[in-house]
Amino acid sequence: MSLPNDDNMSPHAQLSSHFFGDLLDSVIADVASECHRIARLGLDRNLDEEEEELRLSAQARAMVADSSNSGETTSKYVVDIFGQTHPPVATEIFDCMNCGRSIVAGRFAPHLEKCMGKGRKARLKVTRSSTAAQNRYSRGSPSSTYSYSNSTSMNRLSNGAPGVAGEEYSNGSFEEL
């Protein structure tokens, strides 16, 4: 902070500059005094740990940035800790608690939503969910943003009355899009 030279200033400006300087000094002393107290009373005892955590975090980020090319996108094809691989869309089949039909696990939520026939956006959601499910392979890419305004209206046209429980599924699989 460099204050302008006193010589070229009007007395008025000089005065305010002095006041400003005094106030600034006082504020600095306030902060210094406060910090001194905190340090002496040991209220900052976490400082070292916090710095260590920050260092570890920076290190981790650098490491992850380096190896990011080998990437998360393939995570669906990895082997889990038990040595198992799983299909991208869960294939377990069970009966819907609501209508009793056989449903494949990976499609259960959109089915149930329709099946229960409730909710303002039930129809939207079904489209969205199945879109998301189909796009699982390309997860993380922006292409998975759904454009449901179109498909919703298509749905309405093709499916007829909304909220009818599960009529369009004969064998538990969906052919919506």
Partner 1 sequence: MSTRNPSYTNPKSCKHLADYKLRHRLNGFNSLQEHLKTTPAGKSSVSQSQTKIPRCGFCDGYRERLYLCLICSSVSCSSHTLLHSQSENGHDIAVDVERSELYCVLCCDQVYDPDFDRTVMLKHIMDLPPNRSGVADEEGAVRRSSKRRRLVSGLEFDSKKSKQMVSMRDRRAKSCYPWGLRGLNNLGSTCFMNSVLQALLHAPPFRNYFLSDQHNHEVCRKRSSDRLCLPCDIDVIFSAVFSGDRLPYSPAQFLYSWWQHSTNLASYEQQDAHEFFISVLDGIHEKEGKARSPSIDNGDCQCIAHRVFSGLLRSDVTCMCCGFTSTTYDPCIDISVNLDTPNCSPTGLANKSVKPNENTGISTLVGCLDLFTKPEKLGSDQKFFCENCQERQDSVKQMSIKRLPSVLCLHIKRFEHSPARKMSRKIDRYLQFPFGLDMNPYLSSSVVRNRFGNRIFAFEGDDLDTSAEYEIFAVVTHSGMLDSGHYVTYLRLTNQWYKCDDAWITEVDEGVVRASQCYMLFYVQKTLYYKANEDLSCQPISSRRDPFVPIAGCC
* Interface positions, 1-60, toward partner 1 (CB under 8 A): 22, 25-26, 29-30, 33-34, 36-38, 40-43, 45-46, 49-50, 53-60
Q: Would you list the DSSP string of 43-95?
A: TTTTHHHHHHHHHHHHHHHHHHHHTTTT-GGGGGGS--TTS----SS---EEE
List, in order, residues 6 or more apart from 101 with CB less than 8 Å away: 95, 166, 169, 172
State in angstroms the smallest separation of the CB of 66 from partner 1.
Answer: 11
Nearer to partner 1 among residue 11 and residue 142 (C-beta): 142
Give the footprint of partner 1 on residues 61-100 (CB under 8 A).
61, 63-65, 72, 75-76, 78-86, 89-90, 92, 94, 97-98
Contact indicator for 101, 167 with CB cutoff of 8 Å:
no
Total binding residues toward partner 1, as defined by CB under 8 A: 77
Instruction: Give just the sign of the alpha carbon dihedral 160, 166, 172, 173.
Output: positive
172 binding partner 1? (CB under 8 A): no
117-156: contacts with partner 1 (CB under 8 A): 118-122, 124-125, 128-130, 132-133, 135, 139-140, 142, 144-146
The residue among 67 and 158 lying less far from partner 1, judged by its C-beta, is 67
